[in-house]
């Protein structure tokens, strides 16, 4: 903060950082000889997929790595010219929170659930001896106002769970900037947020940086976020920096194979190479027809609250034909997952009909329901959470045959599991392994194999690729498209990420607050979105910083017209 140190030398320098994590067998190298620096007013983006070591490098800067199991093998970290790598106790407290602050991916988990947000902000002023009591509270209210929390003087006394996802991240930011740090480290700050909220948070970070001149390190796996924020980029893969440079150069002419792969994996990046994965089968008979689907929840608010009703899904209609993919797009709370749960009768609808093979799903008895569930399968967002960790791959995939006795005689199970594993691109020798021995993408392939085991007509994918890295997302979508052609499947593909369905869905339904606001063919929706909400979803996609400098805010539509 002292004006004298405003020189050309970097604010933070990390040299040759190597971190191991001790495990039962041998130490795992999380970060290997990583060096980077960042100057005041500059934004450095650390780009990489999960497990690339991008978070570990910055955790070391703030001494957030637990040792053990972590082990900083080597490395020099200096801040404002002074080494800070080994600071503990009181000297560390002069850095953390005061000079360097950090915000994290999931603000609900990273805020203490049992304290009001006010207490958690006031605490920063108090523990650094800056302000206390009434003054600290007033400054906290001011901070909340600055980061865009409405009615900050009443909301300061609320708890984290009473805020929306985007507001929680604003609260985190308010905490981080309380003491005007010189460096803000943002670790996947928008990954858990909806696209439109993501844009607001990124704008806020940009504004704050302009205001205070702080340095910003942004860690992300999202290429678009990276491009829209970065002055400089380092790309990490398997604990090493594989490419570093000025943002524009890295994104427009990537040199390293990994960066090239990453950038080509963008679902809506290079259209020529990305290719069209839409269905080629002409529309056949109707598989599922949903009419007036409605779900109402009753809830009570507060200690003495009375029951209120809330329409999670309101009068939704759509139909899907054989061999077709229907994309249901919406942000969290739009009711898209409720629709899926009702179609599988995991939740009972309040009203409406869903005709599958001439029969209303909602009036089926238990026996009919069992037969129906065989024909409609689901693939969930988190393949690990939706698999029993104590069942082998063979047991997981063959379970539908044990439930529905008439699909396959037991003698053929082994061969069929092998066939299915080959179909989804897994090594059939791995049938006896357990879910934890696979990567996220491989687990999702197992989940797809399990869904295919009961020979369904329709697969509902609920955010099936959202938890995966970009390059893996593309692979899974390719796999689904290929299976559709080969097996004549229909998909309902539920996602919050509009670009993902662009080359995959035949038709798109856009949902907002429980209602369908727009539907139509995919090309029509992308070429000419009618509803303002759809337009905002398309525009919320971040614009590269070097383009934004010339034209401050090109609309999503204009940009899309270029690549369509």
Partner 1 sequence: MLSYIGRRASHSIISVLGLLALVFFLTRLTGDPSSLFLPLDSTLEARQAFARLHGFDQPIHWQFLNYLRDLVSLDFGQSVRQNRSAMEIALEAFPQTLKLAFVAMALAIALAIVAGSIAATRPGGFFDRIVSLVSLTGASAPDFWIAIVGILVFAVSFDLLPTSGTGSLAHWIMPVFVLALRPFGLLVQVVRGTMLSALSAPYIKTARAKGLRRKEIIFGHALRNSLLPVITVAGDLTAGLVNGAVIVETVFGWPGIGKLMIDAIILRDFAVVQSTILVTATAIFVLNICIDLLYAVLDPRIRY
Which residues in this chain contact partner 1 in the complex, by CB under 8 A?
62-64, 66, 89, 92-98, 101-102, 104, 106, 109-116, 123-124, 127-128, 159, 161, 172, 175, 302-304
CA dihedral 186, 187, 191, 196 (to 10 degrees): 0
Shortest distance, position 106 Cβ to partner 1, whole Å? 7
Cα angle 95-96-99, degrees, rounded to a multiple of 5: 50
Residue closer to partner 1, measured from CB, 92 or 345: 92
Q: What is the C-alpha to C-alpha distance for residues 214 and 100, in angstroms, rounded to an integer?
A: 10
User: Is residue 181 helix, strand or coil?
Assistant: coil
Residue closer to partner 1, measured from CB, 220 or 454: 220
Shortest distance, position 122 Cβ to partner 1, whole Å? 11
Which are the contacts of 260, defined by CB distance < 8 A and separation ≥ 6? 254
Residue closer to partner 1, measured from CB, 122 or 500: 122
Structure-token pair, residue 103: 């915000």
Residue closer to partner 1, measured from CB, 115 or 310: 115
Task: Tell me how far apart the terminal alpha carbons of the chain are, to the nearest angstrom.
Answer: 47
Q: What is the C-alpha to C-alpha distance for residues 26 and 41, in angstroms, rounded to an integer?
A: 41
Structure-token pair, residue 205: 């970070």
Q: What is the DSSP letter of 432?
A: G
Shortest distance, position 120 Cβ to partner 1, whole Å? 8
Residue closer to partner 1, measured from CB, 66 or 273: 66
Q: Are 53 and 239 in contact (CB under 8 A)?
A: yes
Shortest distance, position 168 Cβ to partner 1, whole Å? 12
Shortest distance, position 102 Cβ to partner 1, whole Å? 4
Q: What is the C-alpha to C-alpha distance for residues 359 and 368, in angstroms, rounded to an integer?
A: 10
Residue closer to partner 1, measured from CB, 121 or 326: 121
- Pairing between β-strand 359-360 and β-strand 351-356 as defined by DSSP bridges: antiparallel
Q: What is the C-alpha to C-alpha distance for residues 202 and 199, in angstroms, rounded to an integer?
A: 5
Shortest distance, position 108 Cβ to partner 1, whole Å? 9
- Pairing between β-strand 12-21 and β-strand 28-38 as defined by DSSP bridges: antiparallel
Residue closer to partner 1, measured from CB, 171 or 227: 171
Shortest distance, position 56 Cβ to partner 1, whole Å? 13
Q: Are 440 and 357 in contact (CB under 8 A)?
A: no
Shortest distance, position 191 Cβ to partner 1, whole Å? 14
Residue closer to partner 1, measured from CB, 80 or 518: 80
Shortest distance, position 137 Cβ to partner 1, whole Å? 17
Shortest distance, position 346 Cβ to partner 1, whole Å? 24
Residue closer to partner 1, measured from CB, 187 or 462: 187
Q: What is the C-alpha to C-alpha distance for residues 544 and 303, in angstroms, rounded to an integer?
A: 47
Kindly report the number of other CB atoms within 10 A of residue 240's CB atom.
Answer: 16
Residue closer to partner 1, measured from CB, 134 or 307: 307
CA dihedral 534, 537, 540, 541 (to 10 degrees): -110
Structure-token pair, residue 235: 């790309």
As beta bridge partners, residue 438 has none
Q: Are 465 and 473 in contact (CB under 8 A)?
A: yes
């Amino acid at each position: 903060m002292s004006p004298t140190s405003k020189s050309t030398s970097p604010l933070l320098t990390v040299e040759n950082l190597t971190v191991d994590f001790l495990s039962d067998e041998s130490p795992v190298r999380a970060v290997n000889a990583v060096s980077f620096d960042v100057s005041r007013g500059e934004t450095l983006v650390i780009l990489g997929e999960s497990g690339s070591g991008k978070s570990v490098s910055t955790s070391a800067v703030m001494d957030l790595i637990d040792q053990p199991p972590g082990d900083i093998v080597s490395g020099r970290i200096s801040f404002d010219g002074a080494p800070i790598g080994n600071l503990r106790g009181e000297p560390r407290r002069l850095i953390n929170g005061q000079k360097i602050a950090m915000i994290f991916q999931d603000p609900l988990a990273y805020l203490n659930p049992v304290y009001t947000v006010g207490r958690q902000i006031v605490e920063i002023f108090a523990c650094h001896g800056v302000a206390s009591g009434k003054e600290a509270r007033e400054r906290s209210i001011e901070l909340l106002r600055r980061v865009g929390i409405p009615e900050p003087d009443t909301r300061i006394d609320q708890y984290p769970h009473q805020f929306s996802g985007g507001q929680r991240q604003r609260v985190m930011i308010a905490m981080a900037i309380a003491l005007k740090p010189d460096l803000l480290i943002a670790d996947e700050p928008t990954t858990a947020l909806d696209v439109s909220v993501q844009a607001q948070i990124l704008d806020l970070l940009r504004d704050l940086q302009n205001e205070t001149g702080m340095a910003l390190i942004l860690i992300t796996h999202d290429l678009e976020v990276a491009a829209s924020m970065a002055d400089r980029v380092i790309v990490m893969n398997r604990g090493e920096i594989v490419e570093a440079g000025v943002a524009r150069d890295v994104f427009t002419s990537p040199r390293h194979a990994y960066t090239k792969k990453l950038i080509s994996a963008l679902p809506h990046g290079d259209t020529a190479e990305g290719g069209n994965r839409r269905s080629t089968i002409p529309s056949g008979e109707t598989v599922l027809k949903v009419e007036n689907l409605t779900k109402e929840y009753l809830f009570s608010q507060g200690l003495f609250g009375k029951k209120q009703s809330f329409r999670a899904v309101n009068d939704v209609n759509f139909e899907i034909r054989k061999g077709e993919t229907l994309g249901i797009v919406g942000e969290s709370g739009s009711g898209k997952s409720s629709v899926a749960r009702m179609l599988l009768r995991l939740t009972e609808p309040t009203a409406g009909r869903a005709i599958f093979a001439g029969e209303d799903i909602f009036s089926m008895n238990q026996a009919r329901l069992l037969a129906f569930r065989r024909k409609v399968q689901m693939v969930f967002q988190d393949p690990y959470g939706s698999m029993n960790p104590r069942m082998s791959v063979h047991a997981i995939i063959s379970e539908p045959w044990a439930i529905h006795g008439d699909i396959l005689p037991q003698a053929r199970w082994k061969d069929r599991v092998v066939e299915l594993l080959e179909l989804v691109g897994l090594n059939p020798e791995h049938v006896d392994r357990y879910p934890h021995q696979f990567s996220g993408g491989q687990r999702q392939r197992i989940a797809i194999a399990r869904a295919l085991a009961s020979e369904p007509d329709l697969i509902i994918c609920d955010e099936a690729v959202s938890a995966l890295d970009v390059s893996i997302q593309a692979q899974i979508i390719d796999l689904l498209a290929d299976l559709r052609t080969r097996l004549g499947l229909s998909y309902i593909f539920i996602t919050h990420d509009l670009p993902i369905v662009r080359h995959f869905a035949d038709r798109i339904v856009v949902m907002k607050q429980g209602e369908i606001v727009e539907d139509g063919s995919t090309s029509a929706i992308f070429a000419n979105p009618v509803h303002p909400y759809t337009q905002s979803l398309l525009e919320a996609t971040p614009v590269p910083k070097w383009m934004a400098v010339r034209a401050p805010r090109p609309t999503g539509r204009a940009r899309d017209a270029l690549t369509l």
